[in-house]
A and B are shown apart, each in its own frame.
Chain A
Amino acid sequence: MQTALINDNYNLITYITDNDFSLIDQEYKHQQMKQIVETSIYLFPYQLIDILEKRYIFENTQEIISFLLLNKDLLNVLLEAPYYIERVFGRVPLYLELHSDPEENWDELFIVIKTTLPAEEAVKREVQLFDLWFSNVIQKVGNRLNYTEEPL
């Protein structure tokens, strides 16, 4: 069974529990938006997942959504990640992949950045991304979230 999500609006406002957005460029500030705020506490995470599905390609949708519902604090991190990835890699396809080992009771979500850059340059930017963004969230996400780049 797949998940049907409640909100199918393309312009929306949502709220996250972090204060990491201070770095976001002010150039975005004056965008005209239809303001839709999900005030339901129960449905709010589903709305965030709905937004994520517009930004990432989910490799194993059902497993990823289940994982995210159990790790709701990662939603905020995943929402902000594309902004930083775009600054380092430009506009590139982003995938989400859940890697699991049931015997070890281990799950880790990977943001896979698909890029056409030469391998050496891609690795260099991966490090840049760590410095710009991931180093700030690594303590929070622990071993539940990671990122990698792959050739497109």
Chain B
Amino acid sequence: MGRKYNNPPLIEALCEFQFIPAEPYDLTIPGLFYTRVRKDFPEKQEQSGIGFTVQGSDKGIEQKITPIPSRVQFLSKDKTKLVQLAPDLLAINCLKPYPSWEEFKPIIVKNMDIYREIAKPKGFRRIGLRYINVFEFDSLNIELKDYFCYYPLVPRGFPNQLDAFLCRTELPYQEERLILTLATIMPENPNQLSITLDLDYVMNIPERIYFNDVSEWLDKAHERVENAFEACITDKLRKKFEEVGNANSIN
């Protein structure tokens, strides 16, 4: 059990499954899925899909727009949790306030099971468990090293102050990986500095995980994300979240 905070920076947790289909995507899947989840996710909305392609040609760079099948979202009444369906894709999102892993995990497993029963996919192409944190600072000029143990290192000879940055690292865990992304993002208040820490634990070897092993995989992924979060921040930042007891912000 990790640490717990009164004001955790976690803004969104999500689990994304990409499937290997056994058959071409059936457009009735979202409807069948909704009949099974409407009690927990009564609100629904559809997002049309478009694909963008940017490619070089004799005329220079060309951008093209391509229609693709829609993505359907089913939302809880308070809109803090949702399930998203697109061809061979299922995502379960939990927005602020994040309840706990003990509450979030069963939602993931339950919806994955429902999808599996309806769509009958062959296996997983990719699974990702992702936690997105946002840190707000009142000053635009902060020393990153005071707050983070993971940050972009700028060599001597460059200006000290960073206007914007994006720092991404992929760390291998045997055949899986943890993707750490620390980046500035446009703040809600222009006088603030907002930094996101996006922790994404990913399995992307097709059919490496069987359906029955998902629960175990999720626990392992969660533990690694949790450890990564704590490893990426300093005590000075922890103080801002007001630690309580002995559990953590993403637990």
Q: Which residues of A contact B (CB under 8 A)?
A: 1-6, 8, 10-22, 24, 28-29, 31-33, 35, 37, 39-43, 46, 51, 54-55, 62, 65-66, 69, 79-80, 82-83, 91
Shortest Cβ distance from B92 into A: residue: A39
Question: For chains A and B in complex, what number of residue pairs have CB atoms within 8 angstroms?
Answer: 138
Shortest CB-to-CB span from A102 to chain B, Å, is 13
Q: Which residues of B contact A (CB under 8 A)?
A: 11-12, 14, 16, 45-55, 59, 63-68, 70-71, 82, 84, 86, 89, 91, 93, 95, 130, 132, 134, 140, 163-166, 181, 183-186, 188, 190, 193, 196, 198
Q: Are A4 and B14 in contact (CB under 8 A)?
A: no
Q: Are A46 and B185 in contact (CB under 8 A)?
A: yes
Q: Which of A18, A42, A66, A69 has most chain B Cβ within 10 Å? A: A42
Contacts of B188 in A (CB 8 A): 69
Other A-B pairs beyond A4-B164, A4-B185, A46-B186, 14, CB < 8 Å: A4-B183, A14-B51, A15-B70, A16-B49, A17-B45, A28-B64, A37-B71, A40-B12, A40-B14, A40-B130, A42-B11, A43-B12, A62-B190, A66-B186
Q: Are A39 and B93 in contact (CB under 8 A)?
A: yes
Shortest Cβ distance from A61 into B: residue: B186
Contacts of B82 in A (CB 8 A): 41
Q: Are A14 and B190 in contact (CB under 8 A)?
A: no
Interchain CB contact (< 8 A) of A37 among B46, B48, B70, B86: B86
Can you report 21 residue pairs joining A to B where beta carbons are below 8 Å apart?
A1-B140, A1-B164, A2-B164, A3-B184, A6-B196, A10-B55, A11-B54, A13-B49, A14-B49, A15-B71, A18-B48, A33-B66, A37-B86, A40-B132, A41-B93, A42-B12, A43-B12, A62-B186, A79-B50, A80-B50, A82-B63
**CA distance in complex: A30, B183 (Å):** 34
**CA distance in complex: A51, B164 (Å):** 18
Contacts of B12 in A (CB 8 A): 40-43
Shortest Cβ distance from A45 into B: residue: B186
Contacts of B70 in A (CB 8 A): 15
Contacts of A6 in B (CB 8 A): 166, 181, 183, 185, 196, 198
**CA distance in complex: A32, B64 (Å):** 11
Q: Are B67 and A28 in contact (CB under 8 A)?
A: yes
**CA distance in complex: A31, B49 (Å):** 14
Contacts of A65 in B (CB 8 A): 186
Q: Are A15 and B47 in contact (CB under 8 A)?
A: yes
Contacts of B183 in A (CB 8 A): 4-6
Q: Are A42 and B67 in contact (CB under 8 A)?
A: no
Contacts of A2 in B (CB 8 A): 163-164, 184
**CA distance in complex: A41, B163 (Å):** 25
Q: Are A12 and B51 in contact (CB under 8 A)?
A: yes
Beyond A2-B164, A28-B67, A31-B64, whether A40 also contacts B50 by CB under 8 A is: no
**CA distance in complex: A54, B65 (Å):** 13
Shortest Cβ distance from B181 into A: residue: A6
